[in-house]
Homo-oligomer: A and B are copies of this chain.
Amino acid sequence: MQTSSLEALTTALRCLPGVGPKSAQRMAFHLMQRERAGADRLAKSILHALEALRHCRYCNTFTEDEVCERCRSPKRDASQLCIVETPIDMAMMEQTLAYSGMYYVLMGCVSPLDGVGIRELGLEKLLERVDDGVVREVVIATNFTNEGEITAHFLTEMLKPRPLRVSRIARGVPVGGELEYVDAGTLAQAFRERRSLVE
């Protein structure tokens, strides 16, 4: 076919999350007609990232070094370890400025529908991390989706026998949220997990 390289590009773009056939067509046209410099930069950044990125020996996030900057920092509290699903979630936690401990990035979560079990997450590395003798508290900050909750459950079971404080970030009504617009499940959880105001 004459335009095979355009079709190959359209097909290749489908590997991006949330990109269907129509978007892929539009993206391919946009890249070839209006963003040739951007397209070139994109291709090269992908190849460079594939080449350069590896997983931090301690926290498992993406880094170009053996150990990431955060894990090398002496300013962080090494007795706390927060477990998140992705580097994006880690960045979100960092933005809160509410936490200054260490992280462990699972790089995914248990997802039975996608064939990802607890084994596929490669948790030996996490166990090695929590057993380093310095970590005292583990905060599980996986998503509150079904998959994230299953993952949290597995992690809890795994960590229970260890002499660690294990906690989960709180579920409830979002800050600024109105009860009227919160779904019933969230409201029920917020009720069940109500906090005592007078000790």
The residue on B at minimum CB distance from A4 is B64
Residues of chain B within 8 A of A87, CB atoms compared = 3, 6, 29
Given A6-B53, A69-B2, are A43 and B36 also a contact pair (CB < 8 Å)?
no
Q: A43, B32: Cβ atoms under 8 Å?
A: no
Given A3-B64, A6-B62, A8-B49, are A42 and B15 also a contact pair (CB < 8 Å)?
yes
Residues of chain B within 8 A of A52, CB atoms compared = 5
Q: A5, B88: Cβ atoms under 8 Å?
A: no
Assembly stoichiometry (copies): 2
A41 in the interface (beta carbon within 8 A): yes
A193 in the interface (beta carbon within 8 A): no
Hey, what's the 0/1 contact readout for A58-77 against B, CB within 8 Å counting as 1? 00011111001100000000
A6-B87, A9-B48 known; 9 new pairs, CB 8 Å cut-off, are A2-B64, A3-B87, A6-B62, A9-B45, A15-B41, A18-B23, A29-B88, A33-B86, A39-B46
Partner-B contacts on A (CB < 8 A): 1-6, 8-9, 11-13, 15-18, 23, 25-36, 38-50, 52-53, 61-65, 68-69, 86-88, 91, 107-108
